[in-house]
Chains A and B, each alone.
Chain A
Amino acid sequence: MRVLDKQMKVSRRGLLGASGASLVAMTVMPTGMIIGADSAWAAMAKNIKPETFATLVQMARDIYPHDRVADKYYAMVVEGLDGGAGKSEAEKSLLEDGVAELNKAASGSYMQVGWEKDRVALLQAVESSGFFQKVRGSLVTGIYNNKDLWPLFGYEGESASEGGYIDRGFDDIDWLDAV
């Protein structure tokens, strides 16, 4: 069978430009507090609070955890949410208030809850909320329609320009005789 090498190509998309540059300087928060590597994405925040941005990246991974997908891909989705918050006060409040609620439910900081299972329990309590659904909905397209990630799932995408699959393995399954 023609099987794919399920490795992602190295891509710096979403890390170039302003957000990439700010990565260097961002481990020091505006408040002066040094934050950990988990919060590296906070500096990408343009419209929402850096802490909110970082929390949303963690939340995004907890919603659709793919352990072979790097944080930056989740951060790119949050970047889109942050952009929306810049255009709409209502969207901004949705995100800020939603994260504040999560932190409250976590008795402090959602990001400081150590195990995914425990963070997921916090998310389950709010999964019907507009906040959760906004984040989840953005991820459905933000993660699974990101062409850079398709190789990881073994999906090749567009095929017409390659002549389809008629000569590229549409019928090459070779393990059925052993079943």
Chain B
Amino acid sequence: MAGKFDLNDDSVVVVIGSGAGGGTLGSQLAIKGVKTVILEAGGRHEIEDFQNDEWGSFGQISWLDKRTTSGNWRVATDFAGLPAWIVKAVGGSTVHWAGASLRFQEHEWKARTTYGEIAGANLLDWPIDAAEMAPWYDMAENKMGVTRTNGIPGLPGNNNFKIMKKGADKLGYKNCHTGRMAINSEPRDGRGASQQIGFCFQGCKSGAKWSTLYVNIPEGEETGNLEVRPNAQVLKIEHNDAGKVTGVVYADKDGKQHVQKARVVCVAGNSIESPRLLLNSASSKFPDGLANSSGMVGKNYMRHMTGSVYAAFDNPVNMYRGTTMAGIISDESKNDPSRGFIGGYEMETLALGVPFMAAFLNPGAWGREFTAAMDMYDHMAGMWLVGEDMPQESNRISLHASEKDQYGLPVPNVHFDDHPNDIAMRNHAYRQGAAVYDAVGATQTYPTPPYPSTHNLGTNRMSAKASDGVVNKHGQTHDVPNLFISDGSQFTTGAAENPTLTIVALAYRQADHIASEMGKGNL
């Protein structure tokens, strides 16, 4: 399909990025009859290219372009050049994701109203709510094949889950099961059931896990209306004197630059690259960057409150066998300020192989305490803790003053300081996670610090008022009518849940809006 649409064809919609947001949006637009070009910075690696090898796969699909970090978050110390663990490939981070597909809770759409004024936080209500999103969630869950929806049975529990469940029961937690996972528990939609391979993060070798790479994108391509152009890294969005965008400048795999004309541009490069692209597209008309009259582009960066608890037992567990994240306790996801923090968190099973366990269990640690833990690897169970973090204006993606990338453009700096609420929540989550395992007789528990961020959110946030954020309730930028944001950067607040399902639901809703507005001649 390469070269399907001409560079000068200004009737196409250009979507930047092919992950949960861009891959869904671009394919859905094509299905609706809209000519669409997806420009993807990374290469196209199909299922047969995936590797059951943690470092090998990391080198193959990760976004490893130069980035810098600052702030008091531990990632800035442990992984100074790697603030985020996301993918640069067709399919984006839907290649790497674990598959957890949870809807926001109703109150989470209205964080400012629910939580009130929180010192140091820049909370805002979303301009949409649970009722508005319900049909789009329905559509996303059906397409992604989310277990425990649409009559799809839950996945079978692996050893890691069985320990979590036993501990949850002993503690009196009521909401523990194998999750709502976009991983087939039985054959569906032309894809088989999970083989319990254990390498969800490295790209699912059986295709049981939903990814735009082999679900949505081929369907879009089938229509003849979609061209996915891999190894096409967008450097700048161009606009005309009227303030409408006209196309994008991108570099191909050889570094050669091209201009793809466009009728509409949709940005879905994840919450670091998307604001960076808008900032790097500054012009005399938009001196602070494109769509940045609010000054909010790049700000309010959220990454979820995260952490992990691993635990060692006197008997073996072999947590690496089976789906990486098919287990959840949701009891702590409610908003109960009596716990000493607002918002809530989910507890989800997680397993790493030996190579990544060594890198992430306690980064920088060495000596006998560390090796004693590693020696217990096959006796370990593990869980990830993921909760709502507070948007703070000072947590932001900005352009580095001197460091440049391979194209001579300023690299992004990712600044993050934990909010006191994030810290209080993490400490509570560490205690509860350890309690789950202690109830099953853990001989050691290990409170493990956050990994580089996979949930990058909020840096082009959605707002009712143009002065509060970057995009309106359709993801359309307040300043530029034919420029949209289509990824997690449009999140007003982060909620406690893994964000992919919501990104996909928003993309379906946005595709409907764009196609409709184009039909009306408004775009």
Q: Which residues of A contact B (CB under 8 A)?
A: 1-4, 6, 62-66, 116, 120, 127, 136, 140-141, 143-145, 150, 153-161, 163-166, 168-173, 175-176, 179
Contacts and interface: CB of A to CB of B under 8 A. Distances in A.
Interface residues of B, number: 45
B371 A64 contact: yes
Interface stretch (B125-133, B224-232, B314-322, B506-514): B314-322
A145 B197 contact: no
A66 B358 contact: no
Contacts of A179: 166, 440-441
B357 interface: yes
B407 interface: no
Given A145-B55, A170-B322, A176-B166, A165 B198 contact: yes
A146 to B, nearest CB: 9
A173 B195 contact: no
A144 B315 contact: no
Contacts of A153: 354, 374-375, 377-378
A150 B377 CA distance: 10
Interface stretch (B34-42, B156-164, B285-293): B156-164
B520 interface: no
Given A66-B375, A145-B355, A159 B199 contact: yes
Given A171-B157, A179-B166, A157 B52 contact: yes
Contacts of B359: 140-141, 144
A62 B368 CA distance: 8
A100 to B, nearest CB: 21
A173 B374 CA distance: 20
A155 B353 contact: yes
Given A144-B357, A153-B378, A164-B206, A158 B53 contact: yes
Interface in B371-410: 371, 374-375, 377-379
A156 B366 contact: no
A176 B371 contact: no
22 contacts: A64-B374, A66-B371, A66-B374, A66-B375, A141-B55, A144-B355, A144-B358, A145-B54, A145-B354, A154-B318, A156-B321, A159-B52, A165-B195, A165-B321, A168-B321, A169-B318, A170-B159, A170-B196, A171-B162, A173-B159, A173-B162, A179-B166
Contacts of A140: 358-359
Contacts of A156: 320-321
Contacts of A136: 364, 366
A63 B368 CA distance: 8
Interface in B129-145: none
Contacts of A172: 159
Interface in B432-461: 440-441
